[in-house]
Amino acid sequence: MRRGRRQHVIDWRTMKLRVTEATTNDVAEILELRLAVGARMQERFGNDRWAPPISERSVLRLFKGPRTRKSDGATLIKILVGRTGGRIVALTRMQTKKPWGFDLRYFKAGATAVYVGDVEVSPQDQGQGIGTQLMAAAVKHARAWPASALRTSAYDGAAGAGPFYAKCGFLEVGRVTYRKVPIIFFEMLLGKSTRTRCK
């Protein structure tokens, strides 16, 4: 009688994600991560997703533009990577500049906002709490910016990250179609009493 293979179960609560700011030295590893995520999304959803081309050039664009403002040193962009076991398993980009397609009519008026995007987790590490730990770190970075709101968007389809953002405590604030791409807007207000579910 053959013995079944022992299943290796990982409890994500014990898998500590170390989140740091990325540098251009991380480009090759970030490209590997993005290609793996893109391949898995294509396998699962085919063309029912918003999928910009992935290349070394597209990764370098994440770092495009000054990180700080010359006049006062204010932070403009942060690229965060999450590592476990010394390898990059998660990524997100944060910025103060409003990304294309965001319609401010749907968001809290007068809020000092940071926009988060390009949230990706290595396919082999998904389902272990990596994404929520990454977003918890993003919330901490946004509070320290300082910002009063964290904003993001998701593709309005099966491949979109809307349910993930809702799980983390973002509120859906609007839906639009921009350049034929259906988009859902999300916002998290970062008042002192606000508690995020990203833990």
CATH of the domain at 174: 3.40.630.30
| 70 in any annotated domain | yes
Domain count, the chain: 1
- On the question of pLDDT at 37 being above 50, the answer is yes
For the ranges 4-13, 153-162, 167-176, the lowest mean pLDDT is seen at 4-13
Within-domain flag for 10: no
Q: What are phi and psi of 79, to 5 degrees?
A: -115, 115
Which of these, 120, 65, 62, 132, lies nearest to 90 by C-alpha position?
120
pTM of the predicted protein model: 0.86
Q: Does the pLDDT value for residue 7 go beyond 60? A: no
The least confident of 11-20, 72-81, 122-131, 186-195 is: 11-20
| 8 A C-beta contact, residue 151 and residue 115 | yes
| Domain with 171 in it | 18-189
Write down the pLDDT at residue 195.
57
pLDDT, mean over the chain? 88
Q: Indicate whether 7 belongs to any domain.
A: no
Indicate whether 8 belongs to any domain. Answer: no
pLDDT for res 12: 42
